[in-house]
């Protein structure tokens, strides 16, 4: 055989002579699609072992243009085939599809080691089959592309295993591809995915071909989400007995066993586990930063196999690539099942390279980001290519915000959102209070929001405002679902247990930003149930402002953990209210006067016992503890209340009338601490095993002793920062500060989406 020789259904044909394209079948008046097979005498693997008489099956749909620069290379996933057009991606690739075979020549091969026409272990004579890698797969396709004599490739794309091979292809041929899109795939196979592979291998080792069915069922539980299975099957039973979801999984296993080869499955699992694009190249950043073309990594919120932030966004940041997301309640398989969203992204990518006069405002984190992929400003265009007016956002670039709780923080947040609306593409679509809501699906203007704010400050509820509608928060969310809001974000600024409403919003497709601590610290959510619920439905919950207002506390903890550091303990004074109060009584101000002043300034809840009870600090401490792996509930937090037993059950009015009774107690207590050269504080101490909040007396040299006003401070002890913990200090209370913390989370979600 000679290198590059190709057969088409056993009939010789030159490489690159593309047959006419139809969608997987022969049509009247058109040519038929044929699978091609390239034959090679030898192919050397990364391991140094040489394969002889190698076959590579592929489809080449569409025709190369005169410049031969319109080639698109598509890579399939674990059990896929070369037939993207006629089989597994027909909604995305084909005539008049996003990858239009009337405009592009589309090459899709069956990967090395697979069982749909390319050399692999499905041939008994080939066993034992040598280890192959994603790099081997990319090189085999690369030499086929070279025989097509193309100066550049318009697009290289793949999902899951196909995404790993696409990444390798880009690294091997860094000047060849103008665009690389990697869907739901890591730069190096993570430990969790390797663990899933191991379980599948053990199933196959124990049960042979029957084990392939079990392995498929195991894999399906990483490809889909709990939310999708609950919505699709619930607890329904099957006619033949058992639960419907059991029948579904069994059928998936049976179908794969009927069409796939168990030896192939094991070979491809090994290839995925060995995947590391930075291997031998100085790391991921070095491997991918050399690529001349634009690289886009696409994550799927709720993906149980490859975490979008850790396994996808992480490598895009390292490689200075773009990060996008597609939304799917189905999880990992979203790249196969969400054809409309994938198509939208690919049309933008391909139009951006095919039309020299048009550039697009691709915002990182959304389906749409910066034109050069590095966040630089660019001329904005709409989907049909018409230029948008200054400040106008296309629907896909916009995020609609719904504010739940239109008190002081809600009104300030609305003002801050209005200030950044033009440059951020974020706008307020609705505001909700206890009486009802005001909604405008085209966005509430700054003037309208300010009018509503003045009305609220005058004591007029939203239900009584012009266009206001009476109803509960749940009824308001139901009304919102009648409108197709763009990438909606629900912001909860209440102090109530809104967990049912938030779960309802998540199921309805909304991301959530919280300043409200109760849904995270409530007993029902002791294991971060709301966050898990959101992940199962492909949604996100951000809650930086629940602890420390606008301080970057939770983000810092997350980054430490992502880097492999272990957070051992957190000590903190997370209450601006109590910080102010103890600062005042430490200066000799009577307790009653200091508390009333805090109420006037707006530092306390309407019932200041909510602050003095320590429960607000306890909820914040529990949220921090959950990040460290603490599995307890709010009831298990050790809390020291500052409210005497006899004043806990009286009315607010009576409590306020009697707070002077507490002045002598606090005067004596503060004097005793001061006499020993210490300072009295209310502090939280958090580990993975225990949570305590209460009074402590610290030495004058402690960093905590220097706190003034409403400042918060947190000391984070980790395995790397043990002798000198990380200190984070700053304002921890105040309307503007808290609203700014919430705004940051909103903008972060808008960029991610």
Q: Got the DSSP string for 595-650?
A: HHHHHHHT-S-SSTHHHHTSHHHHHHHHHHHHHTT----GGGSEE---S-GGGSSS
Catalytic site includes residue 522? no
Catalytic site includes residue 418? no
| Angle 176-107-342 from CA coordinates, rounded to 5° | 85
Question: 748 to each of 20, 394, 426, how far by Cα in Å?
Answer: 46, 18, 11
Token pair belonging to 107: 């090459």
Catalytic site includes residue 492? no
Cα(306)–Cα(186) distance, integer angstroms: 7
Cα(503)–Cα(594) distance, integer angstroms: 39
Q: Do residues 512 and 502 make contact, with C-beta atoms less than 8 angstroms apart?
A: yes
- Residues 61, 100, 261, 303: which is the catalytic one? 303
686: β partners: 570, 691
Cα(750)–Cα(585) distance, integer angstroms: 43
Q: In what side-by-side order are the strands of the sheet with 469-470?
A: 469-470, 436-439, 426-432, 399-404, 489-492, 511-514, 541-542
- Residues 275, 332, 533, 537: which is the catalytic one? 332
Cα(298)–Cα(186) distance, integer angstroms: 10
323: β partners: 297
298: β partners: 183, 324
Three-class SS of residue 11?
A: strand
Scored b (16 or more CB within 10 A) or e, 398-416 reads: bbbbbbbbbbbbbbbbbeb
DSSP letter at 391? T
Evaluated on CA atoms 694, 696, 701, 705, the torsion sign reads positive
- Residues 21, 81, 122, 160: which is the catalytic one? 160
Q: Smallest Cα–Cα separation from 586: which of 475, 700, 504? A: 700
Active site residues: 160, 303, 332
């Amino acid at each position: 055989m000679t290198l590059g020789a190709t057969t088409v259904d056993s009939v010789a044909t030159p490489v690159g002579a593309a047959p006419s394209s139809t969608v997987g079948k022969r049509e009247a008046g058109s040519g038929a699609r044929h699978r091609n097979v390239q034959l090679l005498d030898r192919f050397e693997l990364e391991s140094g072992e040489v394969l002889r008489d190698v076959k590579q099956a592929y489809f080449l749909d569409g025709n190369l243009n005169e410049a031969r620069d319109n080639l698109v290379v598509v890579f399939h996933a674990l059990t896929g085939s070369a037939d993207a057009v006629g089989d597994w991606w027909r909604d995305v690739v084909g005539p008049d599809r996003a990858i239009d075979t009337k405009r592009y020549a589309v090459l899709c091969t069956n990967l090395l080691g697979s069982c749909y026409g390319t050399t692999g272990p499905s041939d008994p004579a080939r066993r034992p089959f040598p280890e192959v890698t994603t790099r081997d797969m990319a090189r085999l396709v690369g030499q086929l592309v070279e025989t097509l004599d193309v100066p550049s490739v318009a697009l290289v794309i793949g999902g899951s295993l196909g995404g790993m091979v696409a990444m390798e292809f880009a690294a091997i041929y860094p000047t060849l591809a103008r665009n690389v899109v990697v869907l739901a795939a890591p730069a190096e196979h993570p430990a969790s995915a390797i663990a899933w592979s191991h379980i599948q291998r053990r199933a196959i080792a124990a049960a042979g071909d029957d084990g392939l069915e079990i392995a498929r069922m195991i894999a399906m539980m990483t490809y889909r989400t709990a939310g999708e299975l609950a919505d699709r099957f619930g607890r329904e039973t099957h006619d033949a007995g058992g639960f419907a979801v059991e029948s579904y999984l069994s059928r998936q296993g049976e179908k794969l066993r009927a069409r796939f080869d168990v030896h192939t499955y094991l070979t491809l699992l090994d290839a995925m586990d060995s995947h590391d694009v930075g291997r031998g190249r100085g790391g991921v950043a070095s491997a991918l930063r050399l690529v001349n073309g634009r690289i886009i990594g696409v994550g799927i919120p709720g993906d149980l196999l490859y975490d979008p932030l850790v396994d996808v966004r992480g490598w895009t940041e390292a490689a200075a690539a773009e990060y996008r997301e597609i939304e799917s309640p189905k999880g990992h398989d979203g790249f196969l099942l969400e054809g409309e969203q994938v198509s939208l992204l690919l049309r933008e990518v391909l139009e951006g390279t095919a039309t020299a006069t048009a550039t697009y405002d691709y915002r990182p984190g959304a389906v749409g980001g910066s034109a050069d992929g590095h966040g630089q400003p660019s001329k904005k265009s709409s989907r049909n290519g018409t230029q948008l007016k200054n400040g106008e956002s296309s629907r896909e670039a916009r995020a609609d915000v719904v504010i739940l709780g239109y008190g002081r923080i809600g009104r300030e947040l609305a003002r801050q959102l209005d200030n950044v609306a033009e440059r951020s593409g974020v706008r307020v679509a609705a505001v909700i209070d206890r009486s009802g809501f005001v909604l405008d699906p085209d966005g509430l203007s700054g003037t309208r929001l300010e009018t509503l704010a003045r009305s609220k400050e005058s004591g007029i509820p939203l239900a009584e405002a012009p266009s206001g509608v009476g109803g509960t928060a749940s009824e308001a969310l139901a009304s919102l679902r009648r409108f197709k809001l763009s990438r909606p974000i629900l912001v909860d600024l209440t102090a109530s247990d809104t967990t049912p409403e938030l779960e309802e919003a998540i199921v309805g497709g909304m991301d959530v930003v919280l300043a409200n601590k109760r849904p995270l610290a409530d007993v029902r959510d002791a294991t971060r149930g709301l966050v898990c619920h959101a992940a199962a439905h492909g949604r996100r919950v951000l809650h930086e402002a629940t602890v420390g207002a606008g301080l970057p506390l939770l983000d810092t903890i997350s980054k430490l953990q992502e880097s492999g550091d272990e957070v051992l303990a957190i000590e903190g004074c997370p209450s601006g209210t109590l910080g102010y109060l103890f600062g005042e009584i430490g200066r000799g101000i009577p307790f009653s006067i200091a508390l009333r002043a805090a109420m006037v300034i707006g530092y306390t809840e309407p019932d200041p016992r909510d602050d003095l009870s320590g429960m607000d600090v306890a909820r914040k401490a529990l949220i921090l503890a959950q990040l460290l792996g603490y599995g307890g509930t709010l009831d298990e937090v050790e809390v020291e209340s500052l409210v005497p037993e006899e004043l806990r059950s009286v009315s607010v009015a009576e409590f306020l009338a009697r707070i002077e009774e507490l002045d002598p107690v606090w005067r004596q207590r503060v004097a005793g601490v001061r006499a020993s050269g210490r300072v009295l504080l209310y502090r939280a101490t958090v580990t993975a095993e225990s949570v305590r909040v209460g009074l402590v007396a610290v030495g004058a040299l402690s960093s905590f002793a220097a706190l003034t006003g409403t400042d918060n401070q947190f000391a984070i002890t980790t395995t790397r920062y043990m002798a000198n913990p990380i200190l984070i200090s700053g304002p921890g209370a105040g309307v503007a500060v808290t609203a700014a913390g919430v705004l940051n989370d909103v903008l972060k979600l808008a960029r991610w989406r």
